[in-house]
Structure 1
Amino acid sequence: MTSEVRSPRRRGPRALLREARSLPTVLLLAFCLFAGVPAAIGLTPPQDLTVAGQNLSVGARVPSLTVSGPARLVQIGNTRLDIAPLQVYGPLRPQVTLGPIQRNEAAAAAVNPRSASRTRGTAVSALGAGFLRWYAWATLGLLAITLAATAVAAYIRILAVLRRQSRAVHRQLTVAEVWQNGAGQIRRMAFLAVAVTLLGWAGAGTLAYAGTVQGLRGVRSLSDLVGADRLPPLAVGPKVTGYTGAVIGDSRAARLGGAPVPGATEDDTACGRSADSLAAEIGNLRGQRVLNLACSGASIPRGLLGPQVQGGRVLPAQVGVLQQVEGLKYVAVVIGPNDLYWGDFLQYCYAVSDCQDKFTQGEYDYRLADFDRDYGDLLHRLNDLPGRPQVIVVNSYDVFSPDADCADARGPAGVAGLNPNNITLLASRNKGLNDVLAAGARKYGFSLATPRLTPLCTDGGDRLGADLQGLQDSDPFHPTGIGSIRMAAAVAQVIRADGRA
Structure 2
Amino acid sequence: MNGSAERDVAFDNGPRRRRFRAVLREARSLPTVLLVAFCMLVGIPATVGLTPPQELAIAGQELSVGARPPGWSLSGPAQLVQIGNTRIDIAPLQVFGPLRPQLTLGPIQRNAAAAAAIDPSTGPHVRAGAMAALGNGFLRWYGWATLGLLAFTLAATAAAGYIRVLATLRRQSRTPHRQLSASQLWQHGVAQSLRMTAVAVTLTMLAWAGAGALAYDGTVQGLRGVRSLADLVGTRHLAPMPVGPKVTGYAGAVIGDSRAARVGGAPVADATEDDTACGRSSDSLAAEIGRMQGDRVLNLACSGASIPSGLLGPQARGGRTLPSQVGLLHQVRGLKYVAVVIGPNDLAWGDFLTYCYAVADCHDNLTQGEFDYRLAAFDRDYGELLQTLDDLPDRPQIIVMTSYDVFNPDAKCADAKGPANANGLDPTNISLLSSRNTALNDVLVSGAHKYRFSVATPRLAPLCSPDSDRLGADIQGLDSAHPFHPTGIGSIRLASAVVQQIGSGTQPATAARRG
The interval holding the TM-score normalised by the smaller chain is 0.5 to 0.7
Aligned to 1:347: 354
Aligned to 1:307: 314
Q: Is the counterpart of residue 84 in structure 1 residue 90 in structure 2?
A: yes
Q: Is the counterpart of residue 422 in structure 1 residue 429 in structure 2?
A: yes
> Cα gap change, 1:86/1:486 in structure 2, threshold over 3 Å: closer, same or farther?
closer
> Cα gap change, 1:495/1:93 in structure 2, threshold over 3 Å: closer, same or farther?
farther
- 1:474 CA drift (Å): 1.5
SS of 2:500 mapped into structure 1? helix
> Cα gap change, 1:70/1:464 in structure 2, threshold over 3 Å: closer, same or farther?
farther
- 1:227 CA drift (Å): 4.1
- Aligned partners of 1:315, 1:282: CA distance in 2, in Å? 24
Aligned pairs (5 A) from 1:103-118 = none
- Aligned partners of 1:93, 1:321: CA distance in 2, in Å? 49
- Aligned partners of 2:98, 2:473: CA distance in 1, in Å? 54
Contact 1:243 1:289 in 2 (8 A): yes
Aligned to 2:399: 392
- Aligned partners of 2:468, 2:489: CA distance in 1, in Å? 15
- 1:83 CA drift (Å): 5.4
SS of 1:426 mapped into structure 2? helix
State which of 372, 379, 393 in structure 1 corresponds to 2:379.
Answer: 372
> Cα gap change, 1:399/1:83 in structure 2, threshold over 3 Å: closer, same or farther?
farther
- 1:312 CA drift (Å): 1.0
Deviation digits for residues 465-486 of structure 1 (CA, Å, limit 9, x no counterpart) = 1000000111100000110010
Contact 2:250 2:297 in 1 (8 A): yes
Matched residue type, 1:84: I
Matched residue type, 1:407: A
- Aligned partners of 1:280, 1:205: CA distance in 2, in Å? 62
SS of 2:445 mapped into structure 1? helix
Aligned to 2:256: 249
Q: Is the counterpart of residue 453 in structure 1 residue 460 in structure 2?
A: yes
- 1:203 CA drift (Å): 6.1
State which of 279, 282, 289 in structure 2 corresponds to 1:282.
Answer: 289
- Aligned partners of 2:352, 2:501: CA distance in 1, in Å? 31
> Cα gap change, 1:419/1:384 in structure 2, threshold over 3 Å: closer, same or farther?
same
- Aligned partners of 1:420, 1:93: CA distance in 2, in Å? 52
Q: Is the counterpart of residue 320 in structure 1 residue 315 in structure 2?
A: no
Deviation digits for residues 270-320 of structure 1 (CA, Å, limit 9, x no counterpart) = 000010000011111111111000000000000000000111111000000
Q: Is the counterpart of residue 433 in structure 1 residue 426 in structure 2?
A: no
Matched residue type, 1:256: V
> Cα gap change, 1:59/1:405 in structure 2, threshold over 3 Å: closer, same or farther?
farther
Contact 1:278 1:485 in 2 (8 A): yes
Contact 2:356 2:425 in 1 (8 A): yes
Instruction: Output the TM-score relative to the length of structure 2.
Output: 0.57
State which of 254, 267, 274 in structure 2 corresponds to 1:260.
Answer: 267
- Aligned partners of 2:468, 2:327: CA distance in 1, in Å? 44
SS of 1:384 mapped into structure 2? coil
- Aligned partners of 2:400, 2:74: CA distance in 1, in Å? 30
Matched residue type, 1:486: R
- 1:463 CA drift (Å): 2.4
Q: Is the counterpart of residue 468 in structure 1 residue 483 in structure 2?
A: no
Kindly report the root-mean-square deviation, in angstroms, between the aligned alpha carbons of the 2 structures: 3.6
- Aligned partners of 1:290, 1:397: CA distance in 2, in Å? 23
- Aligned partners of 1:469, 1:437: CA distance in 2, in Å? 24
Gaps of 5+ in 1: 1-9, 18-57, 62-68, 72-81, 95-195, 213-221
Contact 1:92 1:205 in 2 (8 A): no
> Cα gap change, 1:324/1:405 in structure 2, threshold over 3 Å: closer, same or farther?
same
Instruction: Output the TM-score relative to the length of structure 1.
Output: 0.58
Contact 2:74 2:96 in 1 (8 A): no
Aligned pairs (5 A) from 1:178-257 = 226-229=233-236, 231-257=238-264
Q: Is the counterpart of residue 405 in structure 1 residue 412 in structure 2?
A: yes
Matched residue type, 1:440: G
How many residue pairs align between the two structures?
A: 321
- Aligned partners of 1:498, 1:428: CA distance in 2, in Å? 30
Matched residue type, 1:427: S
Matched residue type, 2:312: L
Contact 1:92 1:204 in 2 (8 A): yes
- Aligned partners of 1:396, 1:224: CA distance in 2, in Å? 27
- 1:333 CA drift (Å): 0.2
Deviation digits for residues 386-433 of structure 1 (CA, Å, limit 9, x no counterpart) = 011110000000000000000000001011000100000000000110
- Aligned partners of 1:310, 1:204: CA distance in 2, in Å? 54
Aligned to 2:495: 488
- 1:267 CA drift (Å): 0.5
SS of 2:461 mapped into structure 1? coil
Contact 1:304 1:317 in 2 (8 A): yes
Matched residue type, 2:379: D
- Aligned partners of 1:357, 1:290: CA distance in 2, in Å? 43
Aligned to 1:296: 303
SS of 2:467 mapped into structure 1? coil
SS of 2:419 mapped into structure 1? coil
Gaps of 5+ in 2: 1-16, 25-72, 80-87, 101-202, 220-228, 507-515
Aligned pairs (5 A) from 1:92-131 = none
Deviation digits for residues 34-56 of structure 1 (CA, Å, limit 9, x no counterpart) = xxxxxxxxxxxxxxxxxxxxxxx
- 1:459 CA drift (Å): 1.1
SS of 1:440 mapped into structure 2? helix
Q: For the pair shown, which has the larger CA radius of gyration, 1 or 2?
A: 2
Matched residue type, 1:429: R
Q: Is the counterpart of residue 444 in structure 1 residue 451 in structure 2?
A: yes
SS of 1:494 mapped into structure 2? coil
Higher RCO (C-alpha under 8 Å, 6+ residues apart): 1
> Cα gap change, 1:376/1:59 in structure 2, threshold over 3 Å: closer, same or farther?
farther
- Aligned partners of 2:98, 2:447: CA distance in 1, in Å? 27
Contact 1:88 1:207 in 2 (8 A): no
Aligned to 2:124: none
- Aligned partners of 1:362, 1:446: CA distance in 2, in Å? 30
- Aligned partners of 2:469, 2:385: CA distance in 1, in Å? 41
